[in-house]
């Protein structure tokens, strides 16, 4: 049985991961800025009759709050085995449509939120001599994804952070993985640019996304892939299969990947 924290655990990928963890008998803290939804998720998970779940309100942009939660969970249970730094937001719009507010919010949540989680979890895991940090990035952190460059930039940063930390942590008993999913059918896609100036992609962006990626993966299937990758200590967990193909293609031909991305941009512009 593992003791785990999942940020952004009240919906989407986080909820699916928390569900899979509890289903196998783990104890999970469902952390989310939406405390009511987190409590509802934890309540449903406790009805499974296997592991246990608790809810916690957490704003990942608040470094002190993140540190307090992670340390508190360790103090309560005597250890902290798994941390899924998963909370994130979607930013959509072409570069000329975006403001610095879009950039700053993406950096605050998608990058600093992960930094805060790593900064809180890593010393705990070093002290206890074990643990696994799993950071959620995106396929957009491995290939050029236009029409949301702040999102893409932060996800590339999370990949770099994770691989660099993995190298440092390898000799100290701590594992680090980064998750890079393709488009997943989650509420994230229906709430693009939350609380930010509107662009043509604000709100429900599934229509624009369908022009570039008509198939959406399910959060449940992704959670299965994530836990399998964690069990195998994968450095980079990419799913689904067509995402892995896109990653391989981008590595073999960066120019080709940019041409494919340009085609997606042309389709988005043509639809406006």
What angle (nearest 5°) sits at the alpha carbon of residue 237, between those of residues 16 and 220? 20
The alpha helices in the chain, defined as continuous H runs, are: 12-23, 35-46, 63-77, 100-106, 113-128, 149-169, 206-212, 219-231, 241-252, 254-270
Who's near 175: CB < 8 A, 6+ residues apart? 131, 132, 133, 166, 169, 230, 233
Q: Is 151 a catalytic residue?
A: yes
Who's near 86: CB < 8 A, 6+ residues apart? 6, 7, 8, 9, 13, 14, 17, 134, 135, 136, 179
What angle (nearest 5°) sits at the alpha carbon of residue 260, between those of residues 252 and 108? 90
Q: Extract the tokens encoding 96.
A: 């000329």
Q: Of these residues, 70, 122, 151, 217, which one is catalytic?
A: 151
Who's near 84: CB < 8 A, 6+ residues apart? 4, 5, 6, 7, 9, 14, 17, 134, 136
Catalytic residues, which ones?
151
């Amino acid at each position: 049985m593992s003791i785990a924290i999942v940020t952004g655990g009240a919906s989407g990928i986080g909820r699916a991961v928390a569900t899979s963890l509890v289903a196998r008998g783990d104890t999970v803290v469902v952390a989310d800025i939406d405390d009511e939804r987190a409590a509802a998720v934890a309540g449903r998970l406790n009805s499974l009759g296997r592991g246990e779940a608790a809810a916690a309100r957490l704003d990942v942009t608040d470094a002190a709050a993140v540190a307090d939660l992670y340390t508190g969970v360790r103090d309560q249970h005597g250890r902290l085995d798994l941390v899924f730094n998963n909370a994130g937001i979607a930013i959509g719009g072409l570069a000329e449509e975006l403001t610095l507010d879009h950039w700053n919010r993406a950096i605050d949540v998608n990058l600093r939120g992960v930094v805060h989680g790593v900064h809180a979890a890593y010393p705990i895991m070093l002290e206890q001599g074990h643990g696994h940090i799993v950071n959620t990035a995106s396929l957009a952190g491995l290939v050029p994804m236009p029409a949301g460059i702040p999102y893409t930039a932060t996800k590339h940063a999370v990949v770099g952070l994770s691989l660099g930390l993995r190298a440092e942590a390898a000799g100290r008993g701590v594992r680090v993985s980064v998750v890079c999913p393709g488009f997943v059918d989650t509420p994230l896609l229906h709430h693009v640019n939350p609380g930010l100036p509107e662009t043509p992609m604000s709100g429900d962006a599934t229509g624009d996304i369908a022009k570039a990626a008509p198939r959406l993966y399910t959060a449940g299937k992704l959670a299965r892939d994530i836990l399998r990758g964690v069990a195998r200590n994968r450095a980079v967990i990419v799913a689904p299969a067509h995402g892995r193909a896109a990653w391989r293609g981008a590595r073999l031909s960066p120019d080709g990947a940019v041409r494919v991305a340009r085609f997606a941009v042309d389709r988005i512009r043509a639809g406006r």
